[in-house]
Amino acid sequence: MIETHMLSADVVVVGGGLSGVASAIAAARLGARTILVHDRPMLGGNTSSEIRVHAGGADRSGARPHCRESGIMDEIRLEEAARNPQRCAQMWDLILYEKCLQEPNLSLYLNTTCVAAHVRPAETDSQTSVDEPLPSAERAAAAVLRNPQSQIEHIEATRESTEDRFIIRGRFFVDCTGDGRLSVQSGAQWRHGREGPDEYGEPHAQGPDNRTMGASLMWVAEDVGVPVPFTAPSFARKFTDDDLPHRKHIDLDHGYWWIEYGGELDTVKDKEAIRDELMACLMGVWDHVKNGGRHGADNWVLKWFGWLPGHRESRRIIGDLVLTENDLMNSVLFEDRVAHGGWPMDTHPPGGIYSSEPPATFLQMPDIYSIPLRALYSRDVGNLFMAGRCASCTHMAMSSTRLAATGAVMGQAVGTAAAMCCARDCTPRELVQHHIHDLQQQLLRDDQYIIDLPAEDPDDLTRGASVAASSESVGCESHKLLDGVTRMRHGDTHQWASDLQQAMPQWLEIKLPSVREVSQIHLTFDSGFSRPLALTHQDSFNARMFRGPQPETVSDYVIEFGSGGTLTELVRETGNYQRKRVHHIAPVTADTVRITIHRTNGDPSARIYEVRMYA
C-alpha cells in the first residue's frame, strides 16, 4: 500500500552522481536544509561500482599537472586513496555514502525516483509590457528582465521498494540527473543533439542534427595464470580485427570505453535497447579477444562486467549563458566564474563501435577554462540550478564538461550558490548581478579553485599579517602563504615549503597586525596535484598514482596561539591526509600563531599553501 510523506527543505538535489553529491554536501555545510534524491542504491553515477568509470577531469589524467580539482572533489579522492589501497569499487560507493551521512543538514533518499515537478507559472502583469516599440531581440531581453520566472514548488518522488511516495517542497532545486529529467519535468528549455557551425560560430561543430555520443559498458578482468576457456552467449555479436578499426584491444584489465552505442537513438527512451546492444557488443569483443586470434588472453577471465551503461550525453538545459567551443578554446575568464575544466573537447561518432571513424576526436585547449554560474541555472525556471552533463553548453563544450570531476566542481558551485540564495532571499540571476563576489570568495574559502581569482576575504584575519618560517626552499618562500592562490599556476608555486635539507620539525609563524579574537584556523596543505588521483581499475593508469596518503601532505602538526611572546598549544593533529583542514577552537585572543610540522606522509619538506583565521 502506497504511503505519502510530506517533506520540505531549503535545497533539493535530484541525482546522486558526483555533481549531486558535491552539490548536496556544499549546500548542507553552509546551513541549508538539504535533501538528496537518487534513483540507484549507491551514489556516484558513472563512477559508482555498477558502472566504474574513473573520475576524470581538468588535469587530463595527469597530462596537465596542477590542474586537478580541489574542494569537495579532492576531499573525496583523498579519503578513498587513504582507505582503499586495494581499489575495491564498493569502497568508493561507501565513502560517498558516508560523506553524505556525516552532514547533519543533509537527508539522503536512495532508490528514490523523481517522477514529477509541480511548477508555479510566471505571473503576467500589464506593467511588464514594453511601451515603446523595440526590435524583437531587445523586446525578448526586456521580457526576461521584467517578467517573474516560473518556480518549482515541489517535486513528487517514489520509492518502489518500500511503496512510498514523497512530496518534497523546496526553495531551490538542483538538477544533477544527467538526463535533465527534473528540468524537463519543470518546463525548462532544453536541447538535444549537435549544433551546426553557424549557430554559435563553432569551427568544429558537427551538426546540426539530433545525434549524440553513445553509452558504454565496462569490464574488469584478471590474469589467473592458467588457461581458462570462454564460451560466448548466443546473443553476442561477432567481431574481427577488421570490424574494429582504430580500436586497440591490448590492455585487457578494464574493458574498452570504445564499446559504445546509442548515439543515433533516443538516449532516454531507448535506454533498454542501448543496454541490450552494448551487452551483446561487450560479450562479442571479449569473445574476439579470447577466441578470435592471438591477443594474449588465454589466462584472462572476466571478474566483473557492468549491466548499467555509463552515458556520455543527453539533454542540456538552457541557462542565461550557453558555454561554447570558443569559450573553452580561448579560456574566457567570465566575471561570474565559479568552477574550472580542462579535459579536451572529446567527441565520439554517434555510430559508436559500428562506426568506421576513430572512436574519439580530441580537440586540445591551450589552457584550463572557467565555468560561469550563468551556465548552471535555468533561464526560465527561477529556482532551478543544474550541474554535470546537463549544464548549459553546446555539444562541443559539453564534450569536455561532461567529465565526472568537472561535474563535481560544478556541483559544489551550485550547492554553495543555492545556500547563498536561501540566506539572501534572492534568485540565481540576482546572485550573479549583486552577490557574485561574495559567492566566489565563499567558494575559495571552501577550497574550490577559480582560475586566476585570488582570495580576498575581508573576514580573514591574516590579511596584512607577516610571516616567518624556520626554513624555506627557493621559490617556496613563506610570504606566498598569503597571496590568495592555493596551487601552482603560471610557474609560481604559491606555497611555503621548508628546506628539504632541514629535518623536522619545521615551523611557520604568522604575526597579525593587531591582537584579535580567533576561533577558526584554516589550513590548506599540498596533496600532490603534480600527479593524477582517481580510483581506477586500469593497472597502467593506477601505476601513475600514489595509493594512500599523499606524500606531500602534512600528517602531524601542532598549532599554538598567543600574544606578548607567550604561546599556548590549542591544536594537535596526527595522521592527517586531507588537503583542507578547518579547526574550530574556543575563542582565544592572539596576535601570533605558530604552526609546527612534525611529520609529513613522506615528503622531506613541510608544505602549506594557505593559512586563514577567522573570529
Distance CA(25)–CA(35), nearest Å, equals: 10
Q: In this structure, are residues 91 and 537 in contact, taking their beta carbons and an 8 Å threshold? A: no
The helix, strand and coil proportions of the chain, stated in percent and rounded to the nearest 5, come to 25, 30, 45
For position 130, what pLDDT does the model report? Answer: 30
User: Running DSSP on this structure, what letter comes out for residue 519?
Assistant: E
Task: List, as one string, the DSSP characters of 142-207.
Answer: HHHHHSPPBEEEEEEEEEGGGTEEEEEEEEEEEE-SSS-HHHHHTT--EE-SB--HHHHT-TT---
Q: Is the pLDDT of residue 442 over 50?
A: yes
Q: Which CATH superfamily is domain 466-614 in?
A: Galactose-binding domain-like (2.60.120.260)
Instruction: Name the grid cell of 315.
Output: 539533454
Q: Is the pLDDT of residue 573 over 80?
A: yes
* H helix and E strand count, the chain: 13, 25
Residue bearing cell 603534480: 530
Q: Which residues pair with 611 in a beta bridge?
A: 523
Task: List, as one string, the DSSP characters of 207-260.
Answer: -SBS----EE--EEEEE-SS-------TTPPP--GGGSTT------TT--TT-E
DSSP H/E element including 515 = strand 506-525
Q: Is the pLDDT of residue 131 over 50?
A: no
Residue bearing cell 551546426: 196
Distance CA(406)–CA(114), nearest Å, equals: 24
For position 260, what pLDDT does the model report? Answer: 98
Q: Is the pLDDT of residue 467 over 60?
A: yes
Alpha helices in 390-485 (DSSP H): 395-401, 404-424, 428-434, 436-445
**Domain segments of the chain as ranges:** 3-123+146-195+313-345+371-445, 215-308, 466-614
For residue 168, the Cα-to-chain-centroid distance in whole angstroms is 25
For position 136, what pLDDT does the model report? Answer: 39
For position 1, what pLDDT does the model report? Answer: 87
| pLDDT one-digit tens code per residue, 511-556 | 999 999 999 999 999 999 999 999 999 999 999 999 999 999 999 9
Alpha helices in 233-386 (DSSP H): 271-291, 325-329
Distance CA(192)–CA(317), nearest Å, equals: 9
Distance CA(112)–CA(157), nearest Å, equals: 6
* Span 469-491, average pLDDT: 97
- What angle, 0 to 180 degrees and rounded to 10, lies between the N-to-C axes of helices 89-101 and 18-29? 20
Number of residues assigned to the chain: 615
- Beta strand ranges found along 200-266 (DSSP E): 215-216, 219-223, 260-261
Q: Is the pLDDT of residue 142 over 50?
A: no
| pLDDT one-digit tens code per residue, 26-69 | 999 999 999 999 999 999 999 999 999 999 999 999 999 999 99
Instruction: Name the grid cell of 331.
Output: 579560456
Distance CA(527)–CA(486), nearest Å, equals: 11
Distance CA(554)–CA(607), nearest Å, equals: 7
Alpha helices in 292-403 (DSSP H): 325-329, 395-401
Reply yes or no: is the peptide bond before residue 505 cis, omega within 30 of 0: yes
Q: What class does CATH assign to 3-123+146-195+313-345+371-445?
A: alpha beta
Distance CA(34)–CA(26), nearest Å, equals: 10
* Span 451-472, average pLDDT: 97
pTM value is: 0.95
For position 123, what pLDDT does the model report? Answer: 74
The amino acid that residue 598 corresponds to is: H
* Span 499-509, average pLDDT: 97
| pLDDT one-digit tens code per residue, 250-284 | 899 999 999 999 999 999 999 999 999 999 999 99
Distance CA(70)–CA(402), nearest Å, equals: 17
Task: List, as one string, the DSSP characters of 360-390.
Answer: -EEE--SS-EEEEGGGSBBSSBTTEEE-STT
Distance CA(459)–CA(467), nearest Å, equals: 18
Of 449, 455, 494, the closest CA to residue 476 belongs to 494
User: How many other CB atoms sit within 10 Å of the CB of residue 8?
Assistant: 13
Q: What share of the chain has pLDDT > 70, as a percent? A: 96
Q: What's the mean per-residue pLDDT of the chain?
A: 95
Name, in order, each residue with C-beta under 8 angstroms of 381's C-beta and a sequence gap of 6 or more.
119, 149, 150, 151, 152, 183, 186, 187, 188
* Span 13-24, average pLDDT: 98
Distance CA(331)–CA(341), nearest Å, equals: 10
* Span 327-338, average pLDDT: 98
Q: Residue 219 to residues 91, 131, 244, 251: CA-CA distances in angstroms? A: 18, 63, 18, 12
User: How many other CB atoms sit within 10 Å of the CB of residue 506?
Assistant: 24
Helix (H, G, I), strand (E, B) or coil at 568: strand
Q: Is the pLDDT of residue 133 over 50?
A: no
Q: In this structure, are residues 73 and 405 in contact, taking their beta carbons and an 8 Å threshold? A: yes
